[in-house]
Amino acid sequence: MTTDRPTPGTPAPIRRERAVEVYGSRFGNLYDDEVVFPGGSAGRYLRWQWKQQGVVVVPMGPEGLALLPMYRYPVGAVSLEFPRGGCDPGEAPEAAAARELKEESGLTALSVRQVGTLHADTGLIATQTHVCVAEVHPVGRTAARPETSESVAEPVWASYNAMALWLREGRITCAITIAAYAVAMAGTPASATAPPHTTDAVGLSGIVRQ
């Protein structure tokens, strides 16, 4: 009998013997834990724990999807990404998504819904990230207010056709953005993702061809 549900085996766990913190800041903590591997040998395992749960928001509007060109210091390059950040203490993921969207892009969410969760790197990062979809409209955009440590340009609107093309061509490489797009598409009716009939990529100040 076949089934659409995945039925993976159950691998043996890696057992933590002692949590060993090697670095901490207001953003999170890095651990080099003492562990026991499935074969019984002892070793160490790096683990990063953010202070708050993460949130990434997929902005959807009449022109498709809004992406932010962000300069990312670790890779030394500009990266096209969905707005993301952390949930403040006691803040719901939907409220955090609307706040991060406004701060980083200047766009206002007309509605927000949570569609799933993801783990950015299961081999290192322990904290989960909530995935939200926001209905937005480019008209009425205000000035963005990113943090001083962030370097962000104006949003670029991409049709669903352009998004697929940019993914195939490697123009979008942010793992959280790619995973959030997959989760959002899985939770969005096909009629809501029909490609616009005009341009493939539209910036708020005009057409952007990439």
* Residue 1: pLDDT over 60: no
Question: Given the structure tokens 């009449």, which residue do they identify?
Answer: 62
* Cα separation, 79 vs 70, whole angstroms: 5
Q: What is the DSSP string of 9-34?
A: --PPPPEEEE--EEEE-SSEEEEEEE
Burial bucket for residue 38 (CB in 10 Å: 0-12, 13-18, 19+)? exposed
Across the range 77-105, mean pLDDT stands at: 96
What pLDDT digit, counting tens, does each position of 144-181 carry? Answer: 888 888 899 999 999 999 999 999 999 999 999 999 99
Burial 152-168 (b: 16+ CB within 10 A, else e): beebbbbbbebbebbee
Domains with residue ranges and CATH for the chain: 15-50 (no CATH), 54-207 (3.90.79.10)
Mark out the alpha helices in the chain (DSSP H runs).
93-105, 160-168, 175-186
Confidence of residue 32 (pLDDT cuts 50, 70, 90): very high
**Range of lowest pLDDT (83-87, 107-111, 200-204):** 200-204
- Residue 189 CB partners (closer than 8 Å, separation 6+): none
Higher local confidence (pLDDT), 203 or 116:
116
Q: What value does the mean pLDDT of the chain take?
A: 88
Burial bucket for residue 94 (CB in 10 Å: 0-12, 13-18, 19+)? buried
* Cα separation, 142 vs 199, whole angstroms: 24
Q: How much is the pLDDT for 172? A: 98
Please report, as a single letter, which amino acid is at residue 185: M
pTM of the model: 0.84
Q: How much is the pLDDT for 9? A: 84
Question: Given the structure tokens 């998004």, which residue do they identify?
Answer: 163
